[in-house]
Amino acid sequence: MIGIILRRILIAIPVLIIVASITFFLTRLAPGGPFDAEKKLPQEVIDNLNEVYNLNAPLYEQFFDYFSNILVGDFGPSFRYPGRTVTEMISTGLPVTFELAFYAILFALFIGLLSGTIAALKRNTFLDYFPMAVAMLGICVPTFLLGPFLVLIFGINFELLPVSGWDTLPGDKVLPSITLGAAYAAYIARLGRGGMIEILGQDFIRTARAKGLTERQVVINHALQGGILPVVSFLGPAIAGLLAGSFVVETIFQIPGLGKFYVEAAFNRDYTMILGTTIFFSAMIIFFNLVSDILVLILNPRARDS
Amino acid sequence: MSNSSLWSDALRKLLKNRAAMFGVFILVSLIILAILAPVISPYTYDYQNLELGASAPSSAHLLGTDTLGRDLLSRLLYGSRVSLMVGFVATAVALVIGVTWGIVSGYYGGKVDAVMMRIVDILYGLPFIIFIILLMVVFGRNIWLLFGAIGAVEWLTMARIIRGQVLSIKNQEYVLSAKAMGVSNFYMFRRHIFPNVLGPIAVYATLTIPQVMLLEAFLSFLGLGIQPPMSSWGTLIRYGVESMEEYWWLLVFPGITFTMTLFSLNFFGDGLRDALDPKTSSD
């Protein structure tokens, strides 16, 4: 098993390097310099700026400079916000995005596993059909519709919850977390139901029941570990989707997280910011995929041998 | 031919599936409306009536107008052309790449397969949404680039599924006997492999279309996809959200249209899968 994990890690490193290089050269390929403002700047100013931002050096030299700086955590300055560095923006935005993602996943796991397990236990009853119909709805309605919809109902019509901001008003974290987590709750419910149904039909469950365990013990001690396997292997790829979701949710709810910064940077063509965050996001996604693969290996004895 | 009975069986099952038929009905109507948009829409997509501004649904503007006095129904009809086209074109791109990749990888096997599938594995781990955004930023917000980029992302699952199918087909007796008779590879693909993977291709194509449309709408929502004065459902939803507090109709109608389409495609795709799956033939 250690061998498999090591091999996964060894694959992840070149992938990350390739992603970072492609991103670097793509942003350098982009038409128009970073200082193309509305007003034409004097040539000397442009020359000076190029000097300061090291844009006169040969491309390969810029490339190596950039990557040696990244290794010590320096993503360079932002092109659009003079005086701010990309590292600074990542470090202020990241904790917010992480917190949002954490609540969203927590919400998704709680609702998803609960309704998935109940649906599997009460198969073909109302407690199965109803949550699964809601789950279908949750998968089909995209985040950028669900968010505004929740805002209209709970924020504007009933004035129950704040509709924007983060950590400024009590309860302002509720709507964003639910918006971001809803689709995952739906997926987890479906995956959890499928996994549980498969496990509940197996011999060791019958043995456990034959031993006279209560239904609760059977489910919690025996079925759940295997039943949530599909959910665990889904969590890695889900992180990537969660990130995309955070772009939308942070934009809708005006949350000062990394996702909002990224969308703004893409909108403003802040190339260094895009470059830095893309590399950072890629590293995160690759890392979480790795973690979920390893978790599956630990939870599933059969995957270990192959 | 044994093929035709599989397909006619599937058709019979599909016709009995009410959710799938509802999906087909909605989709066909939408496609007809989209094709006829220049003929039937009451105004052009860039027609403005600044004096009117935003107005609630009325007899002159059935779904109301936006803040620039543009007719929402017309923009929705024209937008459906863009959104549906993204769905079909990008899915076609994904199909061509994915099917070729999967067939070649599965059929040749061995080292070729190992290398090709490792590439797919690696690509799977990449943050593609970010890459599409990057492409849109670097090369400008070009609609054809958007089609290509989305298609280039969505082929991975297709390649995996087709490869699996080919692997299971290629060791069956009729393929082995064809091989023993010395038919060319091309003939083999055309006559034996391709017809037998058509089912999964059809199923996953219909399930890919909604994902692609979602991706386009997502990008347009962020302002990184289709640019004004053109409209897609994604851009309309974006404007709808901006002004939903005063002008609810600008969000509600595009939102309903988009969600209905996604539902229909998913119902149809699920129905097709059940219809083509031999395991469900007993019931």
Half-sphere exposure of A169 (CA within 13 A, CB side): 14
The model's confidence at residue B4, banded by pLDDT at 50, 70 and 90, is: low
* Rounded distance between C-alpha atoms, residue B260 and residue A285, angstroms: 32
pLDDT(B122) > 80 = no
Mean predicted lDDT score pLDDT of chain B: 83
The rounded radius of gyration (Å) of the Cα atoms in chain A is 24
Q: Which of B140, B133, B220 shows the shortest CA–CA distance to A23?
A: B133
For residue B65, what are the β-bridge partners? Answer: B55, B71
pLDDT(A103) > 90 = yes
Identify the pLDDT of residue B97: 92
Contacts of A247 in chain B (CB under 8 A): 222
Q: A282 and B224 in contact by Cβ < 8 A?
A: no
Contacts of A24 in chain B (CB under 8 A): none
Identify the pLDDT of residue A31: 64
Report the complex ipTM.
0.76
The model's confidence at residue B158, banded by pLDDT at 50, 70 and 90, is: confident
B133 has a chain A CB within 8 A of its CB: yes
- Over range B77-101, report the average pLDDT: 90
Closest approach of A278 to chain B, Cα-based (Å): 7
The model's confidence at residue A306, banded by pLDDT at 50, 70 and 90, is: very low
Identify the pLDDT of residue A180: 92
pLDDT(B272) > 70 = yes
DSSP state letter for A85: B
By mean pLDDT, which of A35-39, A255-259, B32-36, B129-133 is the weakest? A35-39
pLDDT over 70, % of chain A: 93
Identify the pLDDT of residue A303: 62
pLDDT over 70, % of chain B: 95
pLDDT digits (tens, 9 = 90+) for A23-75: 888 887 766 555 655 566 777 777 777 777 667 777 788 888 888 888 887 88
B22 has a chain A CB within 8 A of its CB: no
Identify the pLDDT of residue A40: 67
pLDDT(A284) > 90 = no
Identify the pLDDT of residue A206: 87
pLDDT digits (tens, 9 = 90+) for A182-211: 989 988 898 888 888 888 888 888 888 888
- Residues A29-60 as b/e (b if ≥16 CB within 10 A, e otherwise) read ebeebbeeeeeeeeeeeeeebeeebebeeeee
By mean pLDDT, which of A85-89, A172-176, A216-220, A288-292 is the weakest? A288-292
DSSP string, B96-132: HHHHHHHHHHHHH-HHHHHHHHHHHHHHHTS-HHHHH
Q: Name the residue among A15, A26, A247 with its Cβ closest to that of B134.
A: A26
pLDDT(A123) > 80 = yes
Identify the pLDDT of residue B1: 45
A102 has a chain B CB within 8 A of its CB: no
Q: Which two tokens stand for residue A250?
A: 């942070």
3-state secondary structure of A77: strand
Contacts of A81 (CB under 8 A, 6+ apart): A89, A270
Residue listed under structure tokens 């830095």:
A276
Is residue B157 within 8 Å of B204, Cβ to Cβ?
Answer: yes
Q: Name the residue among A19, A251, A269 with its Cβ closest to that of B222.
A: A251
Higher pLDDT, B264 or B131: B264
End-to-end CA distance of chain B: 24
pLDDT digits (tens, 9 = 90+) for A208-247: 888 888 888 888 888 887 777 788 778 777 877 787 788 8
For residue B55, what are the β-bridge partners? Answer: B65
pLDDT(B93) > 60 = yes
* Rounded distance between C-alpha atoms, residue A222 and residue A216, angstroms: 10
Contacts of B135 in chain A (CB under 8 A): 26
- Over range A276-282, report the average pLDDT: 85
Among B26, B137, B211, which would you mutate to test the A interface (most chain A Cβ atoms within 10 Å of its Cβ)? B137
B221 has a chain A CB within 8 A of its CB: yes
Q: A23 and B134 in contact by Cβ < 8 A?
A: yes
- Over range A78-103, report the average pLDDT: 86
Identify the pLDDT of residue B240: 87
Is residue A293 within 8 Å of A8, Cβ to Cβ?
Answer: yes
Identify the pLDDT of residue B281: 44
Q: Name the residue among A15, A145, A237 with its Cβ closest to that of B237.
A: A145
- Over range B135-160, report the average pLDDT: 82
* Rounded distance between C-alpha atoms, residue A263 and residue A144, angstroms: 14
DSSP state letter for B281: G
A292 has a chain B CB within 8 A of its CB: no
Q: A144 and B237 in contact by Cβ < 8 A?
A: yes
* Rounded distance between C-alpha atoms, residue A262 and residue A255, angstroms: 12
Contacts of A281 (CB under 8 A, 6+ apart): A243, A262, B127, B130
Taking the model in full, what pTM does it have? Answer: 0.81
The model's confidence at residue A249, banded by pLDDT at 50, 70 and 90, is: very high
Closest approach of A121 to chain B, Cα-based (Å): 23
Contacts of B282 (CB under 8 A, 6+ apart): none
Is residue B231 within 8 Å of B79, Cβ to Cβ?
Answer: yes
Mean predicted lDDT score pLDDT of chain A: 82
Contacts of A23 in chain B (CB under 8 A): 134
Identify the pLDDT of residue B282: 38
pLDDT(B2) > 60 = no
pLDDT(A162) > 60 = yes
Is residue B76 within 8 Å of B61, Cβ to Cβ?
Answer: no
Max mean pLDDT among A96-110, B180-194, B211-225 falls in A96-110
* Rounded distance between C-alpha atoms, residue B43 and residue B68, angstroms: 14
Identify the pLDDT of residue B62: 78
* Rounded distance between C-alpha atoms, residue A69 and residue A272, angstroms: 13
Positive or negative CA dihedral for A253, A257, A261, A266? negative
* Rounded distance between C-alpha atoms, residue A60 and residue B216, angstroms: 35
pLDDT over 90, % of chain B: 7
Question: For residue B269, how many other CB atoms are within 10 A of its CB?
Answer: 21
* Rounded distance between C-alpha atoms, residue A70 and residue B182, angstroms: 57
For residue B71, what are the β-bridge partners? Answer: B65
3-state per-residue secondary structure call for A271-282: HHHHHHHHHHHH
pLDDT(A1) > 60 = yes
Closest approach of B145 to chain A, Cα-based (Å): 14
Amino acid at position A201, single letter: G
- Over range A82-93, report the average pLDDT: 85
Closest approach of A141 to chain B, Cα-based (Å): 6
